[in-house]
Amino acid sequence: MRIEKMTEADRADVLAMSREFYSSDAVSHPADNAKLVNVFETALSSLPSFNGYIFKDDGGKAAGYAYISEYYESEIGGMCVMLIDLFVKSEYRGRGIATSFFKFVKREYSYAKRFRLEVMPDNENAIAAYRRWGFADLPYKQMIMDM
């Protein structure tokens, strides 16, 4: 398995996986295709705080993807790396791809003071895996204001 930065050549694979992810119970609501395209294009842009990664099997076939967003967090006095849309295709689950990605992220973003992600409260399998990798519950209630 390889972890690579997304490129334009990955567009069809990533968008197909994004549509699958956003129609699953791993998210609270769907995202329309225009937003998914915008996220992909932002990951390919020169914006330094947002990157996209694709996971490929040994034959070069897409197995999953994730996005990373970085920001400064006052309470920890340093950079926080937010893992976004971590998705592994069902036929590749259980092969250690997500574990490999977390090791990659910790190595590539070793300067980060915190790694953060979101998970649906009823996604017990994902929660158990995240706890095995060292994640802990955050007591905050998140609030949003869409524009």
**Cα(67)–Cα(87) distance, integer angstroms:** 10
Please tell me the predicted confidence (pLDDT) of residue 142: 84
Higher pLDDT, 23 or 104: 104
Please tell me the predicted confidence (pLDDT) of residue 14: 98
Answer yes or no: is pLDDT of 55 > 90: yes
Across 52-59, average pLDDT: 97
66: number of Cβ within 10 Å: 23
Q: Which of 62-66, 87-91, 125-129 has the lowest mean pLDDT?
A: 125-129
With vertex at residue 49, the alpha carbon angle to CA 47 and CA 51, rounded to the nearest 5 degrees, is: 80
Residue 64 — φ and ψ, nearest 5°? 170, -175
Residue-wise pLDDT for 110-120, tens only, equals: 999 999 999 99
